[in-house]
């Protein structure tokens, strides 16, 4: 993949963090509860969920256990997110230079939540 394509591809730590956060929130659990069950600090789990830390496989396994989530499901969700992002990149790169596309925003970290991103391609 070229450098310009890399800018459109989300980082794995962002995807994994977002998936873990959604699972925790769906369960109605606090950061403190899950961090305690996973035997890590609340601050570290928060950093992982926000995609600011690159968790080791041991950390991912511990958080998955704490959330009663199978590691295979975490990886499958990450795969689906990456495949969707790849499809959006393919749409953008195959579009004529004068076309403006509205794409759904992906929530990968801190910042305001938006309903759409507008991407304009220049020649």
State the distance between the two ends of the chain, measured CA to CA, in whole angstroms: 20
Which region among 35-39, 97-101, 109-113 has the lowest average model confidence (pLDDT)? 109-113
Residue 120 makes CB contacts below 8 A (sequence gap 6+) with 100
> In this predicted model, what pLDDT tens digit does every residue of 34-59 receive, in sequence order?
999 999 999 999 999 999 999 999 99
In the block, residue with structure tokens 């499901």: 73
Which pLDDT value is given to residue 5?
Answer: 47
Q: Reply yes or no on whether the pLDDT at 99 is more than 90.
A: no
Cα–Cα dist 83/19, whole Å: 15
9 pLDDT band, cuts 50/70/90, is confident
Rounded to two decimals, the pTM is 0.67
Ordered structural domains, the chain, with CATH: 3-96 (1.10.260.40)
Strand, coil or helix: what is 120? strand
Radius of gyration of the chain (CA): 17
* Average pLDDT score over residue span 9-38: 96
Percent share of the chain, pLDDT over 90: 57
Residue burial 15-25, b: 16+ Cβ < 10 Å; e: rest: bbbbbbbebbe
């Amino acid at each position: 993949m070229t450098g310009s394509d890399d800018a459109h591809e989300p980082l794995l730590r962002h995807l994994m963090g977002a998936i873990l956060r959604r699972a925790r929130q769906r369960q109605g659990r606090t950061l403190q509860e899950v961090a305690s069950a996973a035997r890590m600090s609340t601050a570290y789990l928060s950093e992982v969920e926000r995609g600011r830390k690159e968790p080791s496989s041991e950390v991912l396994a511990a958080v998955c256990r704490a959330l009663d989530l199978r590691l295979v499901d975490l990886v499958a969700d990450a795969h689906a997110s990456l495949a969707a992002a790849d499809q959006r990149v393919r749409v953008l790169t195959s579009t004529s230079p004068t076309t403006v596309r509205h794409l759904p925003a992906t929530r990968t970290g801190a910042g305001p939540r938006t309903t759409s991103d507008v991407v304009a391609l220049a020649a």
